[in-house]
Amino acid sequence: MKTPKRQFGDLGEAVAAKYYEKRGFSILERNYLKPWGEIDLIARKEQILIFIEVKSVSREPLQGFSRETFRPEDNVHPAKLQRLHRTIQSYLMEHNVPDSVEWRIDIACVYVDIKGKKARVEVLENVIA
């Protein structure tokens, strides 16, 4: 049985996946897991691979949310980025991805209003690991 935190994370990942799909991306994998890290979503658009770290937060109402007081991307600290980069390297090797293929890391911040059944996604593209 999934914990409420895991269920909320799954909801955020589903919202982020739909966000990317609506923008022409194909979702290749969800929750790519290795002992040293996890990639929430792996997407592709044209010839670019996108490794997506999803950070979901509950804020009610969404209109009253201030980015100055809380930024979900702040939870993606240097150690998390290091684990993410190592996991990406594992994915690239396992899937025999040629060195010539471009890839990037995005952070998808999903703001969820559960009562209002709304969500908003903000993406930070091409985060350096």
Report how many helices (DSSP H) and strands (DSSP E) the chain contains, helices first.
2, 5
| Mean pLDDT across 101-121 | 88
pTM for the model stands at 0.83
Query: Per residue in 76-85, pLDDT tens?
Result: 667 777 888 9
b vs e for 90-117, b when ≥16 Cβ sit within 10 Å of the residue's Cβ?
bbbeeeeeeeeeebebbbbbbbbbeeee
pLDDT average, residue stretch 62-75? 54
* CA dist 88 → 26, 38, 72, 91, 126 (Å): 17, 9, 21, 5, 14
Q: What is the CATH number of domain 4-76+99-117?
A: 3.40.1350.10
28-51: per-residue pLDDT in tens? 999 999 999 999 999 999 989 999
pLDDT of residue 62: 47
* Calpha distance 124→102 (Å, rounded): 17
* pLDDT of 68 over the 60 cut: no
Instruction: Map tokens 């996991």 to a residue.
Output: 87
Q: Which of 23, 30, 27 is nearest to 43 (CA)?
A: 27
Q: Is the pLDDT of residue 59 over 90?
A: no
CA distance 28 to 41: 8
